[in-house]
Amino acid sequence: MGFGDFMEVSTEFPDVVKLVFRKYLSVLEGKDYPLHYVVKSIEVEFKPDDSLRRLWQLHDVALQEMWDLISEQRSGEIIGLRPKQSLLDLKICIAENIVRSCHFCENRCRVNRFAGQVGKCRCPYRVVVHSAFTHYGEESFVSPSFTIFTLGCNFHCVYCQNWRISQWYDEGTNLDYSYMAYLVDEAFDRGARNLNLYGGEPTPWIHEWLKVIKEIKKPIPILFNSNGYFTPEAQKILEGVVDIMKIDLKYGNDDCARKLSGVENYWDIVTRNTKACVGKFMLLLRHLILPNHVECCSEKILKWLSQEIEPDKYVLNIMTQYQPEYRVLRGEFPELARHVNKDEVEKVVKLAKDLGLSYIVER
Ligand code: SF4
């Protein structure tokens, strides 16, 4: 396949992107497989009523087998096999357990969404789709990206640009998994480089996304577009399915996270998850500079990155396009009621450069 058939798109990428996203670019060139092709071909045997502990044991063994095949470059030997039960089926079974006492994210509401209860994200059991289209506004190597917007989010950011979607002001619809997969396959044929699981936040819908992915036929890589607040259990389910993990590094401390997004224990959770994703996903990190939050947030994040993660393991996009939205526009948070200024941007970019980070500045 080619890189995008119906609109001019970038095919020249910075060296750091070529390094970190080598496998992704190989898949786009038809020289490698996206992970969902492999996970569907790994055979497992389980009973849906096995204990959760037993299901996880089987899962971990099968996932290791999958990584071994990939690292030995032998996954091609099994692609196309359709076992009676696959590792993806096992992941769906485990996710169905989790959604019945929901702990996809660290809010750990423990509600039974299958039985109609909802937690902090207000997401019911069935995925609610707001819109889906081929997005040209993501990073150059990600665009065009077939992006599915779903309602609901486990965060309540006071400046959210998609607040109508994330906070349930707009309406959405339930779609068949096979129809959603058909839309993805069709977008791939038109040149989409990936399926972008957007939001709100995709974490509450993991059990549903797996069922859509099961129906996808084309070799399209999958991008999980997250705020990074998922649990280790959720992360493990995503391993071997999601090719690109995108995490927003928003805040450098818990006070800002509590005040601006309504979540607890932000720093430990998101830094833990970011580190844990190294080597298991191709890692795209984003940091949106917020006005008046350079010292407390931007600087702390960049310094942490320089100390904790090797620069060949991620790409950081430093984003400068913050604009006041949602509750900020209603006058509730005056500190955020402006764009970021030139000094703030220059300070953050200079620090990223001085620290030797793998960064780009796009959008
Ligand atoms: S995904 Fe929603 S219901 Fe589940 S733990 Fe997170 S906020 Fe609670």
Q: What is the DSSP letter of 41?
A: T
Question: Which ligand 1 atom is the nearest neighbour of the CA of 154?
Answer: 7
Alpha-carbon 119 to chain mean position: 20
- Measured from the Cβ of residue 35, the count of other Cβ atoms closer than 10 Å reads 24
Local structure of 152: helix, strand or coil: coil
307 near 343, Cβ under 8 Å?
no
**pLDDT tens track for 264-274:** 999 999 999 99
Query: Cα(125) to centroid of ligand 1, in Å?
Result: 11
How far apart (Å, rounded) are the C-alpha atoms in residues 219 and 128?
25
Nearest CA to ligand 1 atom 2: 121
**What pLDDT is stored for residue 1 in this prediction?**
33
Report in angstroms the alpha-carbon separations of 15 from 223, 356, 359: 20, 14, 11
Whether the full predicted model's pTM is greater than 0.85, yes or no, is yes
Average of per-residue pLDDT values in the chain: 95
Length of the chain equals: 363
Instruction: Match 């959770």 to its residue by tokens.
Output: 269
Determine phi and psi for 147, rounding to 5 degrees: -110, 125
Cβ neighbors of 131 (< 8 A, separation 6 or more) are 148, 149
Is 213 a residue whose pLDDT tops 90? Answer: yes
Is 4 a residue whose pLDDT tops 50? Answer: no
**pLDDT tens track for 290-325:** 999 999 999 999 999 999 999 999 999 999 999 999
How confident is the model over 246-256, as a mean pLDDT? Answer: 98
Nearest CA to ligand 1 atom 1: 204
pLDDT band at 137 (very low <50, low <70, confident <90, very high): confident
Q: Any bridge partners for residue 145, and if so which?
A: 135
Domain 15-360 is found in CATH 3.40.50.720: no
**What pLDDT is stored for residue 6 in this prediction?**
42
Nearest to 98 by CA among 111, 116, 79: 111
Mutate to test the pocket of ligand 1, among 123, 127, 151, 197 (most ligand atoms within 8 A of CB): 123
How far apart (Å, rounded) are the C-alpha atoms in residues 195 and 146?
5
How confident is the model over 42-50, as a mean pLDDT? Answer: 97
| Cβ neighbourhood burial of 3 (10 Å; 0-12, 13-18, 19+) | middle
Domain ranges of the chain: 15-360
Query: Cα(314) to centroid of ligand 1, in Å?
Result: 27
